[in-house]
Amino acid sequence: MSERRIVPGLRTRHPLGPQLPGVYADDDFVQRLTEGFDEVLAPVLAVLDSLPAYFDPRLAPDDLLALLAAWVGAEGAVRGAVRGHASRGTANGLAEQIRQVFGITPEIEESGGTVWSPTARTPLPGTPRPHLTVRLRVPDAGAVDAAAVSAFVARNRPVHVPFTVEVIPA
């Protein structure tokens, strides 16, 4: 459906007539009047009942998706943004963001890691000082705006991790 509108036959889960004081229960005019309100309000209440779905780009109607995209200034990227946000701050997520924005698949080295062991005092993986290296191997190093890549990495890396960007001729 491309727009919100009255849906023929849509019933409300909250009819108004039975909620009125008892004195109106037998008043035919009042009951018919509230049934008319119910018919008009049913689509509104249906939208409100499922409001979280309207803000999920995977479920939102196309017209609302366009509005959401305009709100965040990313008309072509809202659907992919949810998936990308789930991996934000990870090496794979950063690599995918760089590939989408700059068209280059980077090599990413990070200092951290995780390990599980049933043995006490198992050495921790990685190095004690956090660091991130983003390496771009490209045919023409001069064609890559290293400052733009660095600014992008600075905005999308884990905030506590220092980083370097290397642009290396392939």
Res. 80 pLDDT band, cuts 50 70 90 = low
Res. 15 pLDDT band, cuts 50 70 90 = very high
The string of DSSP codes covering 33-50 is HHHHHHHHHHHHHHHHHT
pTM for the model stands at 0.52
Higher pLDDT, 73 or 16: 16
Is the C-alpha dihedral spanning 143, 149, 150, 151 positive or negative? positive
Topology of domain 90-169, CATH:
GMP Synthetase; Chain A, domain 3 (3.30.300)
**pLDDT mean over 25-34:** 94
Q: Where are the domains of the chain?
A: 90-169
| The pLDDT of residue 144 | 92
Share of the chain above pLDDT 70, in %: 90
